[in-house]
Amino acid sequence: MGRPVLIIEDDADIAEGLKYNLEREGLSTVVASTGEQGLVEALNQRNPPVLIILDLMLPAMSGSELCRRLRREPLTRRTPILMLTAKTSESDRVAGLDLGADDYITKPFSVRELLARVRAVLRRTDEGGAKSYEDDQLTIDFTDVRVVCNGSRIKLTNKEFSLLSVLAKSPDRVVSRQQLLDSVWGYSYYGDARTLDVHIRRLRQKLADCGDCIETVVGVGYRFTGCAKKP
pLDDT for the residue numbered 129 = 53
Is pLDDT above 80 for 142?
Answer: yes
User: For the chain, how far is it from start to end, CA to CA, in angstroms?
Assistant: 54
Q: Are domains 5-126 and 132-224 of this chain identical in fold?
A: no
Is pLDDT above 90 for 39?
Answer: yes
Contact 224, 212 (CB under 8 A): no
**pLDDT class for 151, splitting at 50, 70, 90?**
very high
Whole-Å CA distances, 82 to 99, 102, 106, 201: 12, 6, 11, 26
HSE (side-chain half, CA atoms, 13 Å) at 172? 1
Domain ranges of the chain: 5-126, 132-224
**Phi, psi angles (nearest 5°) of residue 203:** -65, -45
Contact 7, 35 (CB under 8 A): no
Q: Which residues in 109-136 are b (16+ Cβ under 10 Å) and which e?
A: eeeeebbebbebbbebeeeeeeeebebe
Output the pTM of the full model: 0.58
Is pLDDT above 50 for 138?
Answer: yes
Report the candidate in 31, 28, 21, 69 with the shortest Cα–Cα distance to residue 50. Answer: 28
Average pLDDT rounded to a whole number, residues 125-129: 57
Whole-Å CA distances, 51 to 119, 163, 229: 10, 20, 39
The distance of Cα 44 from the centroid of its chain, to the nearest Å, equals 20
Is pLDDT above 70 for 91?
Answer: no
CATH-assigned architecture of domain 5-126: 3-Layer(aba) Sandwich (3.40)
CATH of domain 132-224: 1.10.10.10
Contact 103, 121 (CB under 8 A): yes
